[in-house]
């Protein structure tokens, strides 16, 4: 298959490299990393074994042309670039797969392309981009693949088989929206509190009034720090339960035990920094809209009380604007 990777950070580069390694025709759409990747390719340092590939590289979508599959690994803060980056890559039969976090991404894509062409892959993986073209893969790697507002059809099962051939564990879901909320059970607390923790527990639990100065901002809190401090661990668990309650009110039943399963699973990650923490430390915009604000809006519209999520959103907005 001819595959374009749009957004070649940690996620896009990792899965694009996996597909390139099995002989798929993979094209990376690159900006600042173009020279490095064109010259040296992509190197994956993984607990499963290191490998190196040399994908095709392009600076513009027109250089790539229409593809069978488009994988979107962009940060959701760049979704306003969809109309510029994607039309040259998408034909009548192209599968457009977003690998992005949060809610609302598939809806944005469906405003540009027929809904039946839109899919989402939810990535459960510990990755960091070390430098241009170099990715550190620490743990996991599964993708849960589903179609926008439809049950999974034969094409989706075929794409899942291709990913499995590339060494990527892949499950297919017939209820993408349910799977998105399940992922938020982990993403909201560990990404959100990891960043909010940089301002300290009091700044989250008792946010300063509008216009007042934030306290000095320290280092973000990786997963191990959040799970070894009783106060932060309680907030993690409470946030997870709020997300589960919001999902339930919207018709997506997630058992309460799922929160504890996610916490115990995360203990094996060690000092992992989720993507939002890295963005914050690099003074890049946070993915507030898709990962925090849109879930908050949907919870409130469903009539669910989510005070911790609301407080987290306020704290993150203040921290984001302060950078």
pLDDT digits (tens, 9 = 90+) for 19-34: 999 999 999 999 999 9
Could you give the C-alpha distances from 206 to 168, 196, 212, 280, 315, in angstroms and in order? 43, 12, 13, 21, 10
- Pair 130, 146 in one domain: yes
The CATH code of the domain that includes 211 is: 1.10.1040.10
| Predicted local distance difference test score (pLDDT) of residue 218 | 76
Beta bridge partners of 268: none
Number of domains, the chain: 2
- Pair 40, 189 in one domain: no
- Pair 153, 253 in one domain: no
d(CA 262, CA 186): 7
For residue 145, give its domain range. 2-174
Q: Considering 59, 183, 234, 314, which one is annotated as catalytic?
A: 183
**Of the residues 150, 174, 198, the one at which a domain ends:** 174
- Pair 97, 140 in one domain: yes
- Pair 60, 80 in one domain: yes
Could you give the C-alpha distances from 313 to 120, 211, 293, in angstroms and in order? 25, 17, 7
The CATH code of the domain that includes 60 is: 3.40.50.720
Per-residue model confidence as pLDDT tens digits over 283-292: 999 999 999 9
- Pair 140, 183 in one domain: no
**Of the residues 138, 158, 174, the one at which a domain ends:** 174
- Pair 211, 114 in one domain: no
- Pair 225, 142 in one domain: no
- Pair 36, 168 in one domain: yes
**Of the residues 111, 145, 174, the one at which a domain ends:** 174
Looking at residue 96, the DSSP 8-state letter turns out to be E
- Pair 273, 304 in one domain: yes
| Predicted local distance difference test score (pLDDT) of residue 197 | 87
d(CA 214, CA 138): 34
- Pair 191, 114 in one domain: no
- Pair 196, 266 in one domain: yes
For the chain, residues with pLDDT lower than 50 are 214
d(CA 259, CA 265): 10
Q: Alpha helices, DSSP H only, in the chain? A: 10-21, 34-40, 61-64, 82-85, 105-110, 154-165, 176-196, 201-205, 223-228, 230-249, 257-266, 275-281, 288, 294-301, 307-322
What kind and span of H or E run contains 135? strand 134-147
DSSP tally for the chain: helices H, then strands E: 15, 10
Active site residue 59: no
């Amino acid at each position: 298959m001819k595959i374009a990777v749009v957004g070649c950070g940690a996620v896009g580069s990792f899965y694009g490299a996996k597909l390139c390694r099995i002989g798929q025709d993979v094209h990376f759409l690159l900006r600042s990393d173009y020279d490095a990747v064109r010259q040296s390719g992509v190197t994956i340092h993984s607990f499963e074994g290191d490998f190196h590939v040399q994908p095709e590289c392009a600076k513009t979508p027109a250089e790539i042309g229409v593809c069978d599959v488009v994988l979107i690994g962009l940060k959701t803060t760049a979704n306003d670039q969809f109309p510029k980056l994607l039309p040259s890559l998408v034909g009548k039969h192209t599968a457009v797969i977003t690998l992005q976090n949060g809610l609302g991404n598939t809806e944005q894509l469906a405003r540009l392309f027929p809904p039946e062409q839109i899919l989402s892959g939810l990535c459960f993986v510990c990755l960091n981009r070390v430098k241009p073209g170099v990715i550190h893969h620490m743990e996991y790697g599964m993708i849960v693949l589903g179609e926008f507002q439809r049950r999974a059809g034969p094409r989706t099962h075929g794409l899942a088989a291709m990913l499995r051939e590339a060494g990527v564990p892949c499950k297919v879901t017939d209820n993408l929206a349910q799977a998105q909320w399940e992922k938020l059970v982990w993403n909201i607390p560990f990404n959100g509190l990891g960043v909010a923790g940089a301002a300290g527990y009091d700044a989250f639990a008792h946010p300063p009034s509008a216009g007042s100065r934030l306290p000095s901002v320290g280092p973000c809190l990786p997963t191990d720090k959040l799970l070894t401090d009783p106060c932060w661990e309680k907030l993690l668990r409470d946030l997870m339960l709020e997300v589960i309650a919001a999902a339930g009110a919207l018709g997506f039943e997630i058992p309460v035990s799922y929160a504890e399963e996610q916490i115990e699973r995360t203990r094996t990650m060690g000092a992992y920094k989720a993507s939002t923490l890295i963005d914050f430390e690099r003074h890049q915009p946070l993915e507030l809209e898709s990962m925090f604000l849109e879930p908050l809006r949907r919870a409130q519209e469903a009539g669910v009380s989510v005070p911790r999520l609301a407080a987290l959103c306020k704290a993150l907005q203040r921290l984001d604007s302060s950078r």
